[in-house]
Chain A
Amino acid sequence: MLFFAVNVSAQQISTADLQVTGLTCSMCSNATQKSLETLGFISSVKPDLNKNIFVLTFKKDANVNLDLVRKKVQDAGFSVGGLTANFNFNDVKVDDKGQAVVNGNVYRFVNVKGKTLTGTVKASVVDKDFISGSAFKKQAATANSDAYASGTGVVNGKKTRIYHLVLS
């Protein structure tokens, strides 16, 4: 029981590399940075202005919402071209369909099935608006998840956000 409690409060996503597309000037990057900094669960945003990548560090034990990260980039007028995050998994079981439920967050792995994941796991979000439009179309053609097109599905009788991940 104690172990379970520790597991729940453990930080789930520690850092992420966020690739933003369409940034053509430092003013655009600055606007994106300022938009991201309004999120309470982010502790720091470090830009690579030449590669248009923002390295996000999340607050310890904070509930990280990747959809809000995407929304803040879109609010600034740009798009997410890629998001690769470091997930801290503790004995997370990925079922035969590639699905894992961690602290209420539902993940579906595109390239992992029937495996237990432990430690820091690097994975990219491949849902709509987390990759380019053309990459999403390509992925959708081969995705074997019924939740891929909408990003939501029914889990335990409830409509739930399902993030689709590709393990690096």
Chain B
Amino acid sequence: MLALMMIGAYTSVSAQELYVFTEPASNMPTKSIGVRITNEGMFNYPGYVSRTIPEVMIGFNKNLMMHAQAFLSDMDGKYRLEGGSLYAKYRFLSMDEAHSHFRASAFGRVSTSRRPTYTRDINLEGDNSGVQGGLIFTQLLHKLALSSTLGYAHAFENSDRQIAGMPQPKNMLSYSLSSGYLVLPVVYKDYKQPNFNVYLELLGKTDPGSGQSYLDIAPAVQMILNSTTRIDFGYRFQAAGNMDNRYTKNMYLLRAEFNFFNVLK
């Protein structure tokens, strides 16, 4: 928290809210389509494993947008399609001022995965089938953009693929605090100029059943090219926690996003 505040206090450039590990309360533009390809990987699973996530995002109107994702990984042996997810976000509050804004959104997610379960952790982006709902609050205050996400997930029963003796996941509380800022350009000239952004996010989860928790620190860098293409690279480190066999531990994330504005009629 202090680190996030420090960034806000000492930067002399604009804040950014295109977070890498979480979503901001702001939506994508109406009638626009975004296409993402994300690669996530862990080096000690015990070996190297990775997941590839193709994703399509659609802005229906100024308040409602949706993501559709597919998950492919080699976490259970050979690389295979393991599931998919639908995510919708509705912005219900916007208080915009000249140099600040406060926005709030509600989101929902439904996911499917054919992976077996062997931990109490729940990750609806590839590892579990289930539903999630939550709220996002984003505050832009001059140079500081802070965003907070609160979510509650429920995993569907997975008796077919449950491994004997392994815990069964039920519910999961998730919470995050994100901060980002624009490093370059210092002075804008045109849309062709690359933007360079730096992010720091805190990502936490608590299992209300067992009380087990973990907290990750996730720094990330981002390039925006031609004002349409976004490249993200981040890494999440476990800073604290005690959840056995948790997902997404000490994981890198590499992503390319392409935006097509006003393509829908």
Interface positions of A (Cβ within 8 A of B): 19, 21-22, 24-27, 29-35, 37-38, 47, 49-50, 74-79, 81, 132-134
B residues 211-243 touching A (CB-CB < 8 Å)? 224, 227-228, 230
Bound together, the chains give a CA A29 to CA B191 distance in angstroms of 8
Interface centre among B18, B62, B228 (most CB of A within 10 A): B62
Contact A26:B98 (CB < 8 A) given known A50-B187, A75-B61: no
Decide: A25 and B182 in contact? CB cutoff 8 A: yes
Interface positions of B (Cβ within 8 A of A): 14-18, 26-32, 61-62, 94-99, 101, 140, 145, 182, 187-191, 193, 195, 197, 224, 227-228, 230, 259, 261-262
Q: Which residue from chain B places its CB closest to the CB of A72 in the assembled complex? A: B30
Chain A residues near B101 (CB, 8 Å)?
21-22, 79
Bound together, the chains give a CA A116 to CA B29 distance in angstroms of 42
Decide: B29 and A35 in contact? CB cutoff 8 A: yes
Contact of A26 among B30, B61, B99, B191 (CB under 8 A): B191
Bound together, the chains give a CA A45 to CA B259 distance in angstroms of 20
Contact A34:B16 (CB < 8 A) given known A26-B193, A75-B31, A81-B98: no
Q: Which residue from chain A places its CB closest to the CB of B190 in the assembled complex? A: A49
Contact A21:B97 (CB < 8 A) given known A27-B230, A29-B227, A35-B29: yes
The smallest beta-carbon distance between B110 and chain A, in angstroms, is: 25
Contact of B188 among A22, A50, A81 (CB under 8 A): A50
Bound together, the chains give a CA A133 to CA B97 distance in angstroms of 7
Bound together, the chains give a CA A77 to CA B24 distance in angstroms of 12
Contact A133:B95 (CB < 8 A) given known A22-B140, A31-B261, A34-B262: yes
Contact of B30 among A21, A24, A76 (CB under 8 A): A76
Decide: A31 and B32 in contact? CB cutoff 8 A: yes
Contact of B261 among A24, A34, A47, A49 (CB under 8 A): A34
Q: Which residue from chain B places its CB closest to the CB of A132 in the assembled complex? A: B97
Bound together, the chains give a CA A137 to CA B182 distance in angstroms of 32
Contact of A24 among B15, B227, B228 (CB under 8 A): B15
Chain B residues near A76 (CB, 8 Å)?
29-30, 62
Chain A residues near B31 (CB, 8 Å)?
75
Bound together, the chains give a CA A33 to CA B29 distance in angstroms of 11
Contact A75:B30 (CB < 8 A) given known A27-B224, A29-B191: yes
Bound together, the chains give a CA A151 to CA B260 distance in angstroms of 34
Decide: B261 and A30 in contact? CB cutoff 8 A: yes
Contact A75:B62 (CB < 8 A) given known A22-B96, A27-B195: yes
Contact A24:B97 (CB < 8 A) given known A35-B29, A38-B262, A77-B29: no
The smallest beta-carbon distance between A81 and chain B, in angstroms, is: 5
Bound together, the chains give a CA A1 to CA B28 distance in angstroms of 51
Bound together, the chains give a CA A134 to CA B29 distance in angstroms of 25
Contact A25:B224 (CB < 8 A) given known A75-B30, A133-B97, A134-B97: yes
Q: Could you write out 17 A-B pairs with CB less than 8 Å apart?
A: A22-B96, A24-B14, A25-B18, A25-B182, A25-B227, A26-B224, A27-B228, A27-B230, A31-B32, A31-B259, A75-B61, A75-B62, A76-B30, A77-B27, A77-B29, A132-B96, A133-B96
Decide: B228 and A35 in contact? CB cutoff 8 A: no
Chain A residues near B230 (CB, 8 Å)?
27
Bound together, the chains give a CA A67 to CA B17 distance in angstroms of 28
Bound together, the chains give a CA A151 to CA B242 distance in angstroms of 58
Chain B residues near A47 (CB, 8 Å)?
191
The smallest beta-carbon distance between A32 and chain B, in angstroms, is: 8
Decide: A30 and B228 in contact? CB cutoff 8 A: yes
Decide: A24 and B140 in contact? CB cutoff 8 A: yes
Q: Given contact pairs A25-B224, A34-B29, enumerate 10 new A-B contacts (beta carbons under 8 Å).
A: A22-B140, A24-B15, A25-B197, A26-B191, A27-B195, A31-B32, A35-B30, A35-B261, A35-B262, A132-B98
Q: Which residue from chain B places its CB closest to the CB of A21 in the assembled complex? A: B96
Decide: A30 and B32 in contact? CB cutoff 8 A: no
Bound together, the chains give a CA A19 to CA B27 distance in angstroms of 20
Contact A77:B26 (CB < 8 A) given known A26-B227, A27-B259, A31-B32: yes
